[in-house]
Amino acid sequence: MNEIILQAEKRETTTKGRIHEMRRAGRVPGVAYGDKEAPLSISVNEKELQAVLRSERGRNALITLKVAQTSHPVLLKEIQRHPITRAVHHVDFHRVSLQKKIEALVPVHVKGEAPGVKLAGGILEHVVRELRVRCLPAEIPASIDVDVTNLQINQSIKAKDLQPPKGVELVVDAESVIVHVVSPTVLEEPTVAAAPGAAAATAEPEVIKKGKTEEGEAAAEAKPAAGGDKKAAASPAAAKPEAKKPEGK
């Protein structure tokens, strides 16, 4: 691993105006503390700091902070940024001992393509994005890789399934699920029940129609009978009785 060296200058606690001038000059105010030493107010070159942040190890990079004639092994502890421009406004460094194990958060990187996703249509859920590890400062890994090339649908990879680098211990529950492949959720459209008023309104025209039909049929049956009686009353034959012939003639 290549040593990362960052030059720093000691600074005195000054006013806000002086700090603004420092930032305009391309320097970032900061402080180094820890390892049973007094805090040290410093400033670093912004471009050199950005180069450290873009390095492979990122925020977990072990840095040799050089101030005048002294050197301090440090880790980035906290970075404060402008809320709009995201420019670095302040940086905290934590002094560490190279012979003493520390804890750090390391990002989790998923590698490969799960057959449960590619062939079975499942969904890969990345549950844990960072893992806490314990190791020597110089052995902090850039990331913890999780290989999912054998992960089928409804299967998971837990913390106990991972193989961290030599000298690195995971500080996490062994049963913690890191990634898993779940079946896709099928959403069914809810069936909307008809309102009681709407059902009554739909049924009512049928009743009316039926009633009108029955009335029409009764009228149709009664019409021929009435017509027949009228015709019978108007017929002379029907009105006069048949005359009897005299007997013997």
Does pTM surpass 0.75? no
Between strands 63-67 and 4-10, the pairing is parallel
Rounded to the nearest 10°, the torsion over CA 156, 170, 111, 176 is: 20
pLDDT, tens digit (0-9, with 9 covering 90-100), for 112-148: 999 999 999 999 999 999 999 999 999 999 899 999 9
pLDDT greater at residue 213 or residue 20 = 20
pLDDT, tens digit (0-9, with 9 covering 90-100), for 71-112: 999 999 999 998 998 889 999 999 999 999 999 999 999 999
Q: Is 172 helix (H, G, I), strand (E, B) or coil?
A: coil
Confidence of residue 182 (pLDDT cuts 50, 70, 90): very high
Closest CA to 9 of 65, 67, 50, 52: 67
C-alpha distances in angstroms, 162 versus 114, 154, 171, 208, 214? Answer: 16, 18, 12, 76, 82
pLDDT, tens digit (0-9, with 9 covering 90-100), for 25-45: 999 999 999 988 889 999 999
pLDDT greater at residue 87 or residue 248 = 87
Asked if the model's pLDDT at residue 1 lies above 90, the reply is no
Q: Is 16 helix (H, G, I), strand (E, B) or coil?
A: helix
Domain boundaries, the chain: 4-96, 103-182, 196-232
Residue 92 has a pLDDT of 95
162 vs 136: CA distance, rounded Å: 19
In CATH, which superfamily holds the domain spanning 4-96?
Answer: Ribosomal Protein L25; Chain P (2.40.240.10)
The CATH number of the structural domain formed by 103-182 is 2.170.120.20
